[in-house]
Structure 1
Amino acid sequence: MGHIGRKACATLGITLLLSLPGAAQAQTVLNGLFMAQAGYSESDVRAMTEAFEKAHPDIQVKLEFVPYETLHDKITLAAGSGGGYDVVLFDVIWPAEFAANNILADVTGRIDAKTRDAVQAGAWTTVDYKGKSYGMPWLMDSKFLFYNKAMLEKAGIAKPPASWPEVIKDAEILKQKGIVQYPIVWSWSQAEAIICDYAILMQAFGGDFLDASGKPGFQTGGGLDALNFMVDTLKNGTTNPHSTEYLEEDVRRVFSSGQAAFALNWTYMYNQANTDPKESQVVGQVGVIAPPGVDGKSTVSTVNGGMGLGIPAGSKKQDAAWTYISYLASPEVEAKYANSGPPIWKSYYADPSLKTSPLAPLLEAQDKSFAKLFSRPQAVDYTQFSNRLQQALQQALLGQASAADALKSAASDLGATN
């Protein structure tokens, strides 16, 4: 799972005189922290930065790349020590914590109305918290519903399902006809993956993680309906029972080996499953749509898997940092690197030339999903919230507690600490 207002760079803060061949040039030196995996690769970011420096010779950017697992702590530790970075890549689940602890600068005033309107509406949930923006969305993603076109055709199913109840209806037909033993596979291991799948179904059933007062709200209404839906698919045999042990790569493996008709997964699975014979036995048979909704409650269901670019509150070079962020997130740069990460700009998906692209089905699904991205809970202690909810979901799926009891217990625990 960012973009920009274009503000001319004012070289403020500390400047360094760097001795260059033949001349001395004053430069602002920015320190940037990025992720060494997923989305834009390290080579992509280095190439973007090199082009930026050519266009802005008064700004130099020193890049550091770390694994996702250490990104959060790098940002928070640097803030605690009083400096370090001027631009950081951050996950969609961190803005509440970073805002509450003054780790990221509020950049709301740097984003004009034209820019805000030009970006896919759902992308702003990556960086916004309580009406303020703490960066620009940059890496965008959601999970999509992948389906095996050959299996559906064999079962006499003419089109992909238009609602989640229809997914189950189609899965029952596939199972009854012996086309596939377990038509649906999910990533329901006790990990962040299950929160993402649950979020999609929660949006579909009209629920939310938190109520209007910021307290847990998942234990009733759409949140409870979503978990009961998950439990029922295990009971009726339409869901692969090993889903409770699976992460996203397991889902990809099962679907790509022809052992599932439906699967939820991130963008990356499309090319690997549909075009790579080394990775897939279902090449050319993969369909993809934005996950559907539930009649009367929703038309689409999503989860925001995006990341944003922000400026640490302690940076003394915030104007130059914003100039750099604005460049990285510009429509031109994002379009150039679209094969690595889906752009956040509406204009990209409106390009008529993309209608004939081999990726057209995926782009259509992305356009539909990105307009309505659903956020995981904006909790200051997100890790605690997620871990406790993961436990509750697993208890219900494994039959250790009813869905209602499992969620009620988790909500009680989290409500006391939220």
Structure 2
Amino acid sequence: MRKKSLVLLLSFLLLLSGVLAGCGNNGGNAAGTTEDGKKVVDFWTFWGSETRKPMIEKIIKDFNESQDEIIVKHTYLPWGDIWTKNLASIAAGDPADVIINDINSVAQRAENNQAEDLSDYFDEDFKENFYPHLWETVEYEGKPYAVPFNTDTRLLFYNKDAFKEAGLDPEKPPKTWDELEEYAKKLDKKNGDDYERIGFYPLWGSVGADAWMVNADKGQRFIEDGEVMINTPRKVEALEWVKQWKDRIGEDTVQTFEAEFQNQQANPFISGKIAMWVNVGNNYTQIKEFKPDMNFGVAPIPAYSEEDKHWSSGGGFVAEIPKGADNPEAAAEFIKYLTGKEAQKYWAMQNFDNVANIEAAEAAAAELEGKDQEVYQATIDNLDTTILSPTPVEYPDYQNLMNPKIDQFMMGEIDAEAALKDAQKAVKKVKR
């Protein structure tokens, strides 16, 4: 009886292993193919929300129906897990065919042999479809290792009704840091010693001290052409300027407001708790959803001075083929579609994202109307002064060395010049 049971168990395990093997082959006769010979492209994204998942799956569906040689299958992995699993799958020799990855770390993956060189799949003219500052981020030693998908840029959002109440012209937002300070003080609204509204605080929204330092320093990043440029006079001044705002309104006020925003999960700009703030362009979608009648404007981030440009900061994502993908040629064909005009225009109009394809972005702006068109066009125009900060291969951990020093300064433990001097020294020591 026991022998019969053992035989049945072994038979079941063999059957199960066959089923699992079939699943691993996508139902086909070889890895990465279907039974009728179509190449399967496994596409990994972190877009699993009710808003974005249907959009990316429509793009996939449209691609699959546009030809009969490739089938793209969408694999959703949560934010925070996707890139860890990507590296693990590359090491195991079983990666995705296409993955959406961070735009600022492409060179790191290229150097570490974690992404495929795409120069065999795209001709030299292909890059002309994309904003130049985005394409620069995907090249390593003169070759592309990804294709830009989307990006962002930061604008000054301001409450026009609050401007009118404070006696400011709602059609004339602040253009310089001096004007920003002047406007903010007029927009502050207090009840005794307590603030009911704060005109502006430079660390609320989608911006940090590092962005203001780059804004002040003529758009100069912390690492430029292999040279460490952390401790510069303007970056020191910018860091001091950021802290002055905190000192003016008080640590307790900052903490009270931040706790209120967090606990209520409220957008402080929409709720009227702050009159101006810096945020990414698609912050507009929240305004549109939760307070569609809000009277607001957008403008470039105020410049350090009248002689300086309105430098902003940005990030974004790329479509990449992990090293060792089963079907790199088919993956490249899908990336062409994903980053082409039709798919990019659809993504732009549905998500209000800044897409990487120039023609698609301009086409989306042309079709939008009213406030939609006004805000989206402002984000496109702002890309001219938007700085991305790709992680330099020589200094991959520079932010982990610099940011604690900035935090020390903000907590009053060290002065700004000493903080940046220490950061510069620490970063230089770890050059690869």
Q: Against the structure 1 CA distance between its residues 212 and 349, is the aligned structure 2 distance closer, same or farther, given a 3 Å change threshold?
A: closer
Q: Which amino acid aligns with 1:134?
A: Y
Q: Which residue does 2:309 correspond to in 1?
A: 299
Deviations 1:188-233 (CA, angstroms, capped at 9, x unpaired): 69xxx665x5225413432534444524312214432321221222
Instruction: Give % identity.
Output: 21
More off after superposition, 283-292 vs 71-80: 283-292
Q: Which has the higher helix share?
A: 2
- Alignment match of 2:280 (pick from 258, 262, 266): 266
Q: RMSD of the alignment, in Å? A: 3.3
Q: Which amino acid aligns with 2:220?
A: D
- Alignment match of 2:324 (pick from 305, 308, 314): 314
Q: Which residue does 2:8 correspond to in 1?
A: none
Q: Against the structure 1 CA distance between its residues 268 and 162, is the aligned structure 2 distance closer, same or farther, given a 3 Å change threshold?
A: same
Q: Which residue does 1:214 correspond to in 2?
A: 226
C-alpha displacement of 1:27: 1.1
The 1-side partners of 2:426 and 2:280 are apart by: 31
C-alpha displacement of 1:127: 2.4
Matches within 5 A, 1:77-116: 77-108=88-119, 110-112=121-123, 114-116=125-127
Q: Which residue does 1:184 correspond to in 2?
A: 200
Q: Which residue does 1:334 correspond to in 2?
A: 344
Deviations 1:1-27 (CA, angstroms, capped at 9, x unpaired): xxxxxxxxxxxxx776634xxxxx321
Q: Which residue does 2:333 correspond to in 1?
A: 323
Q: Which residue does 2:297 correspond to in 1?
A: 287
Q: Against the structure 1 CA distance between its residues 244 and 329, is the aligned structure 2 distance closer, same or farther, given a 3 Å change threshold?
A: farther
Contact conserved, 1:227 with 1:403, CA < 8 A, in 2?
yes
Is residue 2:279 matched to residue 1:256? no
Q: Against the structure 1 CA distance between its residues 318 and 16, is the aligned structure 2 distance closer, same or farther, given a 3 Å change threshold?
A: closer
Q: Aligned with 2:80: secondary structure?
A: helix
Contact conserved, 2:202 with 2:242, CA < 8 A, in 1?
no
The 2-side partners of 1:113 and 1:246 are apart by: 51
Q: Which residue does 1:9 correspond to in 2?
A: none
Is residue 2:399 matched to residue 1:386? yes
Q: Which residue does 1:166 correspond to in 2?
A: 179
Q: Against the structure 1 CA distance between its residues 350 and 97, is the aligned structure 2 distance closer, same or farther, given a 3 Å change threshold?
A: closer
The 2-side partners of 1:126 and 1:252 are apart by: 34
Q: Which residue does 2:25 correspond to in 1?
A: none
Matches within 5 A, 1:9-408: 18-19=34-35, 25-36=36-47, 41-108=52-119, 110-112=121-123, 114-129=125-140, 131-158=142-169, 159-175=172-188, 181-187=197-203, 195=208, 198-206=210-218, 208-212=220-224, 214-237=226-249, 241-242=254-255, 253-273=267-287, 275-277=288-290, 280=291, 283-295=293-305, 298-338=308-348, 339-340=350-351, 341-351=353-363, 353-354=366-367, 356-380=369-393, 384-408=397-421
Q: Which amino acid aligns with 2:270?
A: S
Contact conserved, 1:28 with 1:320, CA < 8 A, in 2?
yes
Q: Which amino acid aligns with 1:264?
A: V
The 2-side partners of 1:416 and 1:246 are apart by: 38
Q: Which amino acid aligns with 1:356?
A: E
Contact conserved, 2:190 with 2:197, CA < 8 A, in 1?
no
The 2-side partners of 1:182 and 1:50 are apart by: 47
C-alpha displacement of 1:260: 0.8
Contact conserved, 2:34 with 2:40, CA < 8 A, in 1?
no
Contact conserved, 1:204 with 1:299, CA < 8 A, in 2?
no
Unaligned runs of 5+ in 2: 1-29
C-alpha displacement of 1:133: 2.4
More off after superposition, 406-415 vs 355-364: 355-364
Aligned residues: 392
C-alpha displacement of 1:381: 8.6
Q: Aligned with 2:61: secondary structure?
A: helix
C-alpha displacement of 1:364: 2.2
The 2-side partners of 1:238 and 1:151 are apart by: 22
Contact conserved, 2:95 with 2:323, CA < 8 A, in 1?
no
Larger radius of gyration: 2
More off after superposition, 288-297 vs 336-345: 288-297
More off after superposition, 239-248 vs 303-312: 239-248
Contact conserved, 1:175 with 1:238, CA < 8 A, in 2?
no
Indicate the structure whose relative CO is greater, using CA pairs within 8 Å and at least 6 residues apart. 1
Contact conserved, 1:187 with 1:246, CA < 8 A, in 2?
no
More off after superposition, 371-380 vs 154-163: 371-380
TM-score normalised by structure 1 residue count: 0.82
Unaligned runs of 5+ in 1: 1-13, 20-24
The 1-side partners of 2:429 and 2:383 are apart by: 34
Q: Against the structure 1 CA distance between its residues 38 and 384, is the aligned structure 2 distance closer, same or farther, given a 3 Å change threshold?
A: farther
The 2-side partners of 1:16 and 1:388 are apart by: 43
Q: Which residue does 2:4 correspond to in 1?
A: none
C-alpha displacement of 1:46: 1.5
